[in-house]
Amino acid sequence: MEQGKGFVVERHIVAAKINGDEIQFSCFSGQTLLDVLRSELYMTGTKNGCGSGDCGACTIVLNGRPVNACLVLGVELEGARIETIEGMAQDNQLHPLQQKFLDYAALQCGICTPGILTMAKAFLEKNPNPTEREVRYGLAGNLCRCTGYDKIVRAVLDAAAEMRSEKSE
C-alpha cells in the first residue's frame, strides 16, 4: 500500500506465467500490462507506440491470442499465460521470423518490430501457408512508420516457407 496525495493507493499481487516462467508481480489497479512488463518487470522488449490500442507495437500473446498489452490491465492477469518477444528466441537460436527480419532488413527504428514479430508468429501458427494478401491482412493492426511494409511481408512469407520445410523434414 502506498500513500498518494490524500488517498491510499493499493497494490495488487498477481501470479501469471510469462514465457513459461511462473512470475508474481505487484501492480496498481489502473496499471496496464504494458506498463507492468516495462516498469515493474523490466521486460522492455514490448514497445509503447501509442498507448491507446492503435499501433500494435505492444502486441503480446495472452492465453494463446495476440492482444495489445496497452489495453489490458495487470490486475486481470491472475493465472494468465503471457508470451512476449523475450521468449521468442529459444536456446540462443533466433526464431526463423527474427532471422528473416534481419536477412531482409525488415526494420529501421525497431519500435514496431517486437509487436510485428509476435503478431506474425501467432498468425503463422494459425495459417502456416499464407498468401501475400493474407500476411498483409494478418499484420494490418501493426503499424510501421519506417519500412513501407514490403520487406516485412517478404520476410514473413520466407520465414513461413522455411518453417514449413523444417516441419516436413
User: Does residue 58 belong to the site contacting ligand FES (CB under 6 A)?
Assistant: yes
Q: Which of residues 61-80 bind ligand FES (CB under 6 A)?
A: 68, 70
Matching residue, cell 520476410: 155
Q: Which of residues 1-40 bind ligand FES (CB under 6 A)?
A: none
Nearest distance from residue 52's CB to ligand FES, in Å?
Answer: 6
The SS3 of residue 52 is coil
Nearest distance from residue 62's CB to ligand FES, in Å?
Answer: 13
User: Does residue 89 belong to the site contacting ligand FES (CB under 6 A)?
Assistant: no
Nearest distance from residue 86's CB to ligand FES, in Å?
Answer: 17
Identify which of residues 107 and 153 has a Cβ nearer to ligand FES in the complex: 107
User: Does residue 53 belong to the site contacting ligand FES (CB under 6 A)?
Assistant: yes
Alpha carbons within 13 A on the beta-carbon side of 98: 13
Indicate which single residue of 19, 45, 80, 108 sits in contact with ligand FES (rule: CB under 6 A): 108
The helix or strand, by DSSP H or E, that contains position 82, with its residue range, turns out to be: strand 81-83
The SS3 of residue 90 is strand
Cβ-based neighbours of 18, under 8 Å, separated by 6 or more: 41, 43, 82, 83, 84, 87
User: Does residue 50 belong to the site contacting ligand FES (CB under 6 A)?
Assistant: yes
Fill in the amino acid letter for 76. Answer: E
Q: Which value, in Å, is the radius of gyration of the alpha carbons in the chain?
A: 17
User: Binding residues for ligand FES, how many (CB under 6 A)?
Assistant: 23
Give strand pairing partners of 17: 22, 81
Contact positions toward ligand FES, by CB under 6 A? Answer: 48-51, 53-58, 68, 70, 107-113, 144-147
